[in-house]
Amino acid sequence: MKYEDWQIITLDKVTSTNDAVNNYCDKAGRFIALRAVEQTAGRGRRGRIWQSLKGNLFLSLAFEYDLQNLGNLVIAASLSLCQTIKNYSPSPEVKIKWPNDILLNNAKVSGMLLEKGIGNYIIIGIGVNIVHSPDSQHILYPATSLTEAGITTTAAEFTENYLQQFSYYVNMLQNNKQAAWQMWTDNAKGIGSKIEVLQENKKKQGIFSGIDENGSLLLDTADGREKILVGDIFYIEKVNDGI
Ligand code: BTN
């Protein structure tokens, strides 16, 4: 995958970019990056809505991908998002919150929704709070925006920078998987500390001991090690990430 492979499409208004991008998955071998200026029915993980405030980024990538290697893709997508934000300003704290949120100064600045597309296409939907953060009453985790952290960019510019990083990390995952997984681990918040995992109506506590080859979270509980495929995590102990 190279940056030059991407066809960037910008639409004025869509319901969800994750739906709109399907219209372009008609031929084999395409790399589509569809960005919408306005999104009227954005969705988040686990059935939540994604407040899509004007000026923020609503982007969906679509390309053919072997679902067996989904773990690698999750790593590449979140690591490249983390790196894109770090490249704007190395000073604020930028961390990955499992599975693929990005935290900026301990608040969520970005979320990702992976869905299966048509045929062998996979869709990676990315929302970045560029200029606005959502209303705090309706969200699960404190939110922020790049603007609040003093970073100035636009959704269009961020898209280009992200695609550069994403193409780079997808290749790194193919050529040097070990190094990329290590980088993910180094940039993830809370490994080795106590967390709470929220799944449907259940809550579980344990030590976040890392991820497995599929990207599942490994939670060490009093009853042993559990693999968590889907859920939301909350940090219980103050985490010292060595900063
Ligand atoms: C989450 O954190 O719950 C994931 C949020 C994903 C939001 C993005 S915005 C672009 C794409 N289109 C959608 O409807 N959702 C994703």
- Interval 45-96: pLDDT, tens: 988 899 999 999 999 999 999 988 899 999 999 999 999 999 998 778 999 9
Strands 224-228 and 217-221, bridge-based pairing: antiparallel
Whether CATH 1.10.1370.30 fits 3-187: no
**Pocket flag, ligand 1, residue 98 (CB < 6 Å):** no
Write the burial class of residue 234 (CB in 10 Å: 0-12 exposed, 13-18 middle, 19+ buried). Answer: middle
**Pocket flag, ligand 1, residue 18 (CB < 6 Å):** yes
**Pocket flag, ligand 1, residue 110 (CB < 6 Å):** no
**Pocket flag, ligand 1, residue 16 (CB < 6 Å):** yes
1: DSSP letter: -
Closest residue by CA, ligand 1 atom 3: 44
In which residue ranges of the chain is CATH 2.30.30.100 found? 194-235
Which atom of ligand 1 is nearest the CA belonging to 42? 14
Does position 243 have pLDDT exceeding 90, yes or no? no
Q: Distance from the CA of 17 to the center of ligand 1, in angstroms?
A: 8
pLDDT at 27: 87
In which residue ranges of the chain is CATH 3.30.930.10 found? 3-187
Q: What is the mean pLDDT of residues 94-112?
A: 96
> How far, rounded to the nearest angstrom, does the alpha carbon of residue 229 sit from its chain's CA centroid?
15
Which atom of ligand 1 is nearest the CA belonging to 17? 12
Share of the chain above pLDDT 90, in %: 85
162 vs 141, higher pLDDT: 162
Q: Distance from the CA of 52 to the center of ligand 1, in angstroms?
A: 9
Closest residue by CA, ligand 1 atom 7: 127
pLDDT at 51: 92
Using alpha carbons, list the distances in angstroms from residue 46 to 30, 39, 200, 222. Answer: 28, 19, 8, 26
Task: Give the dihedral sign, CA 19/21/26/27.
Answer: negative
Write out pLDDT tens, residues 165-204: 999 999 999 999 999 999 999 999 999 999 999 998 899 9
CATH class of 194-235: mainly beta
223 vs 243, higher pLDDT: 223
Report residue 137's pLDDT band, with 50, 70 and 90 as the boundaries.
confident
Mean residue pLDDT across the chain: 93
Closest residue by CA, ligand 1 atom 10: 58
